[in-house]
Amino acid sequence: MRMRPTLSWTPTKDLPPGTTDLEPITDTLNTGGVLVLSGAGISTESGIPDYRGENGSLSRHTPMTYQDFTASAQARRRYWARSHLGWRTFGRARPNDGHRAVAAFGRHGLLSGVITQNVDGLHQLAGSEGVVELHGSLDRVVCLSCRASSSRRELAQRLEEANPGFEPVAAAINPDGDADLADEQVGDFRVVPCTVCGGILKPDVVFFGETVPPSRVEQCRRLVREATSLLVLGSSLTVMSGFRFVREAAHAGKPVLIVNRDPTRGDQHALTRVAVPLGAALTTVAGRLDITLVDCA
């Protein structure tokens, strides 16, 4: 059974305002055993927009759903044209201070794990290890028929060869690596099949309307059970795939702390929400803990 896409969230009651006080974050990290759950907001300072912020992509862009992708060859052509163009920019993104801070906290033994809702791989580029990619990664491609896996860079080369001269100018790049292109810019873009069986290729990410693999969900639940607290970084928690871990942590009596500029679906379960830009907030916290950020990218 697939989840119905959740693109927006409206508070059902008044939520406490955000704060600028970083002491609870510092104290919690200093205690150790912290599980990080990150969202698109941690990557905005790397040039990748978020979904729901002030300039979020959902104001102009409806993400591809699993149902549309699998049902329509034209939808796949449109997706791969846009995604191929977006990959050129997306694949060049580099970690920012938020990613570097998370990696530094991990190196100093303050974290029990990292779960990310992002598909950009920037936590790993910054040096974080054992990151659970809740929604997969754009670095990989999978065949829907034979399940063969291949690299996105390999597919990008094949798409370049199949579409010489494809150089449209995108209006914007979205958090899922999709570029905003008009239908006339997509034109007759050629999609390439799986090299093993000729089947349909799909990025190895969880589309809207698709479920996270049960084994991955259970892995995240185990991390929640083993953690002493949960630190949410840059996520509105609108989508249940991430929000459920906040609920589980809170129900287990574990402190939930959030760093996000705007109110989130998890605020009612949180000890605090810090409304400070992530890079600056985590750099300040690292300084208070006498931790130096390292550029590993």
Give, to the nearest 10 degrees, the angle between helix 278-288 and helix 97-107.
30
Q: Which residues contact 110 (CB under 8 A, 6 or more apart)?
A: 29, 30, 32, 34, 289
List binding-site positions.
Answer: 39-59, 117-120, 143, 146, 194, 197, 234-236, 278
Position 13 scores a pLDDT of 67
Sorted by where each starts, the structural domains of the chain and their CATH numbers stand as 19-48+95-135+212-297 (3.40.50.1220), 57-92+137-205 (3.30.1600)
Distance of CA 195 to the CA centre of its chain: 28
The answer to whether 97 and 293 are in contact (CB under 8 A) is yes
pLDDT digits 0-9 by tens, 204-236: 999 988 999 999 999 999 999 999 999 999 999
Interacting residues of 163 by C-beta distance below 8 A, sequence separation 6+: 81, 84, 189, 190
Nearest to 292 by CA among 108, 146, 134: 108
Per-residue pLDDT tens over the stretch 127-156: 999 999 999 999 999 999 999 999 999 999
| Cβ-contact 150, 141 below 8 angstroms | yes
Question: pLDDT-derived band of residue 8, with 50, 70 and 90 as boundaries?
Answer: low
The pLDDT value recorded for residue 54 is 52
Binding residues for NAD(+): 39-59, 117-120, 234-236, 278
Mean pLDDT lowest for which of 45-49, 89-93, 250-254? Answer: 89-93
Least-confidence region, from 7-21, 50-64, 101-115, 196-210: 50-64
Q: What pLDDT score was predicted for residue 177? A: 72
Termini Cα distance of the chain: 39
Give me 230's structure tokens. Answer: 């949960």
Average pLDDT, the chain: 89
Please report the pLDDT score of residue 228 as a whole number: 98
Query: Across the chain, which distance is largest between two alpha carbons, in Å?
Result: 57
Q: Indicate the pLDDT class of residue 47, thresholds 50, 70 and 90.
A: confident
Q: Which of 45-59, 67-81, 120-134, 171-185 has the lowest mean pLDDT?
A: 45-59
Q: What is the pLDDT of residues 60-82, one digit of tens each?
A: 456 789 999 999 999 999 999 98
Annotated binding site for Zn(2+): which residue ranges? Answer: 143, 146, 194, 197
Q: At what angle do helices 152-162 and 73-90 cross, to 10 degrees?
A: 110
3-class DSSP state of 20? coil
Region 7-35: what's the mean pLDDT?
A: 85
- Rounded to an integer, what distance in angstroms lies between the CA atom of residue 132 and that of residue 119? 11
Q: Which residue has the higher pLDDT, 170 or 6?
A: 170
Out of 61, 135, 251, 269, which one is annotated catalytic? Answer: 135
Confidence of residue 277 (pLDDT cuts 50, 70, 90): very high
pLDDT band at 294 (very low <50, low <70, confident <90, very high): confident
Distance CA 203, CA 163 (A): 19
Q: Render the burial of 122-138: b for 16+ CB within 10 Å, e for the rest.
A: bbbbbbbeebbbbbbbb
Catalytic residue check, 135: yes
pTM of the model: 0.89
